[in-house]
Structure 1
Amino acid sequence: MMKYDSQYYLLTEDADSAPYMLAKNRKSDDGLLRLLALRSIQREVLGPGYVHITMGDDGRFNPCDYHEVLPAGLVSEKFKQVLDLFQLPGVDFYPAYIENREKTWDKHYLVHIWQNYRALDPKRSVYDGTYENDAFELRQMVLNEDVLDNIPLQERLVFRLHEKPHYLYHESVVSALKLAGLTGVGFLSLQDWGPGAAFASEDEEDDFYDDL
């Protein structure tokens, strides 16, 4: 077992948030089209985001602390406050409104994780395609110990894989999130992740941005 693979988790939706599919709509600030950027976009975002329900609108919706809105999630003020305690580099939050059936909820945030590392182990990870130019479909993630050994923990508590848009949370951050009693969020160990896990593919991300 590689030492870092047991330390990192990915966020998932739980039984409270999963029945609803949420997405940004055209009212969102144009700068929020760049949430996949591997750099800060603070100077490009001039207004809030707007999120609506695209599937599962049964009239009983009430926001959870976490919803899997592409690319890196929509979180509540409570969720954000936990992450703020860690003073995470390369993680920004942009205010967003959730709208549904003439109701509006504020104090939610679209997450932009631009702290990124080319941190997959190309020899131990399982993928179809070519690693060198990132033209591959990932089947199993194994982290590169040589890379992460040289990065201070504070700088890799939460980060995005440079090769593919997967967002990894260190076990210390996950422990704090669990203690906060948040709704809507689950935690999947990197070791248990696979193509059948509930994560959006790159094609789904492309479709999402095309719909804006």
Structure 2
Amino acid sequence: MKYDRQYYLLTEDSQSAPYMLSKSEKSDDGLLKLLSMRSIKRKVLGPGYVHITMGDDGNFKPCDYHEVLPAGLVSEKFKNILDSFQLPGVDFYPAYIENRGNIWKEHYLIHIWQNHRALHPKRSVYDGTYEDDRFILEKMSLNEEVLNKVPLHERLVFRLNEDPQYLYHESVVVALKAAGLTGVNFLNIQNWGPGSAFSTEEEEDDFYNNL
């Protein structure tokens, strides 16, 4: 279970959570492929457009992270931090946030297509059948036998092949935390489960204590 301590998911915080953002019909059709587990660079020919679908849009100000499906909408600042790791299988596509006649540029939809079939089939808890990926994941645990064979730089940020969950290694999380980004919390996968919305202050303290 050594890898369970090392990986985190991104969640929204109190600044970003009051708003629900989603891609609008103006977005390039290629961006419908953001769930793909291979590159879609040849399919995306234009930018994405994001609008507010829930929340008080009169008070809206963009954060560095918004939970736009499937893998998030991030600012230029956020993107630059990830770029510094030269992550394989992680691409960014320009997206404009539109609200009440205002347009915010320098934001990006993330496409994480680096993927590993890395769930531990016995320690993870799921409702359904693991073998054919027909299940609802309820608790995740990572498979050491799989990840031991993957060089660290190829698993710093990746998608679970079995389920659309996007995992960030603690070394990347340290850099993101140090940047003082807005709109984002980090949830250790040991504490993840249906209904887990955000990390607690205790988990924040544990994160630094365990480094």
State if a TM-score over 0.5 links the two structures.
yes
How does the TM-score come out when normalised to structure 2? Answer: 0.93
CA distance in 1, matches of 2:38, 2:197: 26
- Is residue 34–residue 70 contact of structure 2 (8 Å, CA) maintained in 1? yes
Whether the 8 Å CA contact 2:9–2:188 is kept in 1: the answer is yes
The answer for the alignment partner of 2:138 in structure 1 is: 139
**Runs of 5+ consecutive residues of structure 1 not aligned to the other structure:** 200-212
Name the CA distance, whole Å, in 2 between partners of 1:105 and 1:123: 45
Residue identity matched to 2:190: Q
- Percent sequence identity is 77
1:30-69 CA deviation, whole Å, 9 max, x = no partner?
A: 0000000000000100000000000003401010000000
Q: What RMSD, in angstroms, separates the aligned Cα atoms of the two structures? A: 0.8
SS of residue paired to 2:128: strand
Give the structure-1-normalised TM-score: 0.92
Give yes or no for contact 2:57–2:99 (8 Å, CA) kept in 1: no
- Equivalenced residue count is 198
TM superposition shift of 1:196: 1.2
Instruction: Name the amino acid aligned to 2:76.
Output: E
Q: Is the 8 A contact 2:66 2:73 kept in 1?
A: yes
AA paired with 1:56? Answer: G
Residue matched to 1:204: none
Q: CA deviation at 1:197?
A: 1.7
Cα distance in 2 for partners of 1:57, 1:48 equals 25
Question: How far did residue 198 of structure 1 move?
Answer: 3.1
* Counterpart-to-counterpart distance in 2, 1:83 and 1:58: 29
Aligned equivalent of 1:102: 101
| Alpha-carbon separation, structure 1, partners of 2:128 and 2:45 | 39
- Aligned equivalents of 2:39, 2:57: Cα separation in 1: 37
Aligned-partner Cα distance in 2 for 1:42–1:58? 32
Give, in whole Å, the separation in 2 of the partners of 1:134 and 1:99.
Answer: 37
Distance in 2 between residues matched to 1:170 and 1:89, nearest whole Å: 14
* Displacement after TM superposition at 1:122 (Å): 0.3
Partner of 1:84: 83
Equivalents in 1 of 2:40, 2:196: separation in Å? 29
> Equivalents in 2 of 1:151, 1:57: separation in Å?
44
Partner of 2:63: 64
1:37-76 matched pairs, under 5 angstroms: 37-76=36-75
> C-alpha distance in 1, partners of 2:68/2:197?
12
SS of match in other structure, 1:146: helix
Task: Give the aligned partner of residue 204 of structure 2.
Answer: none
Return the alpha-carbon distance in structure 1 between the equivalents of residues 197 and 96 of structure 2: 24
For 1:189 and 1:104, locate their aligned partners in 2 and report how far apart those are by CA, in whole Å: 34
Q: How does 1:1-212 map to 2 (within 5 A)?
A: 2-198=1-197
CA displacement at 1:154 relative to structure 2 = 0.3
Alignment-mate amino acid for residue 47 of structure 2: P
Q: What is residue 207 of structure 1 aligned with on the other side?
A: none
- Cα separation, 2, equivalents of 1:58 and 1:92: 29
